[in-house]
Structure 1
Amino acid sequence: MNATDPIQKAGKIILVGFGPGAPEHMSLRARAAIAEADVVIGYATYIRLVKDLLDGKLVIRKGMTEELDRCNEAWEHARQGKIAAVISSGDIGVYGMAGPTYEVLLQAGWRPGSGIEVEVVPGATALSACAALVGAPLTHDFCSISLSDLLTPWPVIVRRLNAAAHADFVVALYNPKSGRRTGQIIEAQRILLRHRAPETPVAVVKSAYRKKQAIQLTTLAQMAESEIGMLTTVLIGNSSTFVQDGLMITPRGYANKYAGFGGQALAGEQAGRSLSLGLEGWQADVRERLAQGQHAEEIACFFDLPPEEIDAVIGNPRLPA
């Protein structure tokens, strides 16, 4: 390039999560990102949800299984000095296009600061949108697991289901069922029922905040009988979750410390301090049990923990068998 050649502007890729689909739930930054883009790339359904923002833009529609094509399209347009927006409902970093786009870019030799800027615009996830519609089921610890075995081996999914259920997480199931994948939700139900009571509350939410929104409150025992598809997210409560007056609620844990909601701490508890069975209190309890003659394996069984956790309290690391 000589001094008289025009300098091509640096391109940019914006990975835009625009929320559940309703315009009022799209962030200001998501709207601005789409507005500044020269090219908008996305699954046909996503394009349709933001069609009012696409006048004058090159729009590239891709199918459900063409995720890598979307990444490569964004890369090519950015290399030409354009601003390419890859759009997705929910949060584009949660089961979305952010991960594969970064993988494609890194494989192509791109690095942060190399000229083409990449920005991720977060959005409200399907998980949080569905939770908002049914009450407050995510107020305590939760996890999300995709039942899609298109890219993840089923034994990996089974391990995750077992671990989450055993640990008493509220569980959100993404991609629970499709026209060809009908058995995965049945298997998930079977695994969860090994750890959860049949009456455990379940919310089945389809197309949250979209025209065909549908909400079903059911139980773990009857979950698989609900109308479930690819546009559905399934929220499965933990051992404390309850349904009252049509609201699915998971307590935050105040009952472990306070008598009612008047702020009076229970005996042995202090406001603003760890629970009596917080880390230090639990370690002291373990030492006291050991001093009383209980075996590490017995204590581990009582707390439903691996024996290695008890060994760690007494500074006696257990050698692998």
Structure 2
Amino acid sequence: MAKLFVVGTGPGAEDWVTPKALASIEASTDLVAYGLYLDLLGDVCNGKQHHDLPLGEEIGRARLALDLAASGKTTALISSGDIGIYAMATLVFELLDQQLQGKENHPEWLDVEIEVVPGISAMQAGAAKVGAMLGHDFCTISLSDLLTPWETIEKRLHSCGQGDFVVSFYNPRSKKRDWQINTARDILLQYRPASTPVLLGRQLTREDETITYTTLGELHSDDVDMFTLVSVGNSESRHIVNGEREWIYTPRGYKKKL
């Protein structure tokens, strides 16, 4: 049977790739991805047919992966992080949905066996680097308005603030979008203190990784780029320091029992 693995390979470092993801890639003959993701994987990609499509060609990557699998090639569609979080998995199923609605002309896609293999997301990697930031209810919000209207994003920011969720921001800034993260900060400041701890995790788990501890009041777009994960604590999140070591954690409510 035609087989497509939809694989998340984690935040970047080889030892953060799950055994299941490695096994799926090893079982494949063809790999479809943005080239950087294949470079980060190293030797596990050797001997495979690489199909490298640039950023901005996400729909093309999903189509190609389905086409390759439907032709009988065991294929892995690869993305960093968790491929089901702001990534390629949703496009695969959206294309299948379009086919079922008669809006595509690829009935062969429906015969492809699809297995989604999750990966460690950037927000998980960042939270682990600083301690236990996701210890209580949390959400993620993408600040990119390329596919989602800003009005919708703004409603979600207010809902996050009202619900007092820890929040991880994806796509916080790009060359053409430099104001959204400051606007998000200002909205959250309506609901939680300026002293709320914030993590800036750049190039998480990679060789040039940097971890910066700051606060919501001090958060600024000048300190953020497209490779940065921004995680903002809730009103109870704590930044604690022990000599040269420091952590952020979000209490779950055990204090009354301690």
Using the size of structure 2 for normalisation, the TM-score is 0.92
Q: What does the per-residue CA deviation read over 1:72-94, in whole Å, with 9 as the maximum and x for residues that have no partner?
A: 10111112111111101111001
One-letter amino acid of the counterpart of residue 34, structure 1: I
**Aligned residue in 1 for 2:249:** 249
CA distance in 1 between counterparts of 2:218 and 2:35 reads 33
CA distance in 2 between counterparts of 1:225 and 1:151 reads 21
**Match status 1:104 vs 2:95:** yes
CA distance in 1 between counterparts of 2:136 and 2:126 reads 16
Of 58, 62, 65 in structure 2, the residue corresponding to residue 71 of structure 1 is 62
CA distance in 2 between counterparts of 1:220 and 1:21 reads 27
Q: How does 1:57-206 map to 2 (within 5 A)?
A: 57-109=48-100, 114-206=110-202
One-letter amino acid of the counterpart of residue 158, structure 2: N
CA distance in 1 between counterparts of 2:44 and 2:199 reads 33
CA distance in 1 between counterparts of 2:222 and 2:114 reads 41
Q: Greater relative contact order: 1 or 2 (C-alpha under 8 angstroms, separation 6 or more)?
A: 2
CA distance in 1 between counterparts of 2:233 and 2:110 reads 46
CA contact (8 A) 2:70 2:111 kept: no
CA distance in 2 between counterparts of 1:114 and 1:179 reads 39
Match of 2:93, SS state, is: helix
Task: Extract unaligned runs of 5+ from structure 1.
Answer: 1-9, 262-321
CA distance in 2 between counterparts of 1:52 and 1:181 reads 36
Q: Which of structure 1's runs of 4+ aligned residues deviate more than 3 A?
A: none
Q: What does the per-residue CA deviation read over 1:81-137, in whole Å, with 9 as the maximum and x for residues that have no partner?
A: 1111110111100111000111112323479x9531000001111110010011111
RMSD over aligned Cα atoms: 1.7
**Aligned residue in 1 for 2:103:** none
Task: Extract unaligned runs of 5+ from structure 2.
Answer: 101-105
CA contact (8 A) 2:197 2:232 kept: yes
**Aligned residue in 2 for 1:229:** 225
What is the aligned length?
Answer: 249
CA distance in 2 between counterparts of 1:184 and 1:79 reads 41
**Aligned residue in 2 for 1:46:** 37
Q: What does the per-residue CA deviation read over 1:138-167, in whole Å, with 9 as the maximum and x for residues that have no partner?
A: 100000000010100000000000000111
Match of 1:222, SS state, is: coil
Worse-matched range after superposition: 52-61 or 128-137: 52-61
Match of 2:194, SS state, is: coil
Higher strand share: 2
CA contact (8 A) 2:66 2:112 kept: no
Match of 2:156, SS state, is: helix
Q: What does the per-residue CA deviation read over 1:233-288, in whole Å, with 9 as the maximum and x for residues that have no partner?
A: 11101111111111111111112x42xx2xxxxxxxxxxxxxxxxxxxxxxxxxxx
**Aligned residue in 1 for 2:46:** 55
CA distance in 2 between counterparts of 1:89 and 1:236 reads 22
Using the size of structure 1 for normalisation, the TM-score is 0.75
Match of 2:43, SS state, is: helix
One-letter amino acid of the counterpart of residue 37, structure 2: Y
CA distance in 2 between counterparts of 1:123 and 1:52 reads 19
CA contact (8 A) 2:167 2:231 kept: yes
**Aligned residue in 2 for 1:34:** 25
The alpha carbon displacement at 1:229 in A equals 1.1
CA distance in 1 between counterparts of 2:31 and 2:47 reads 11
One-letter amino acid of the counterpart of residue 183, structure 2: E
Q: What does the per-residue CA deviation read over 1:177-224, in whole Å, with 9 as the maximum and x for residues that have no partner?
A: 011110111111111111111111101101110111111100101111
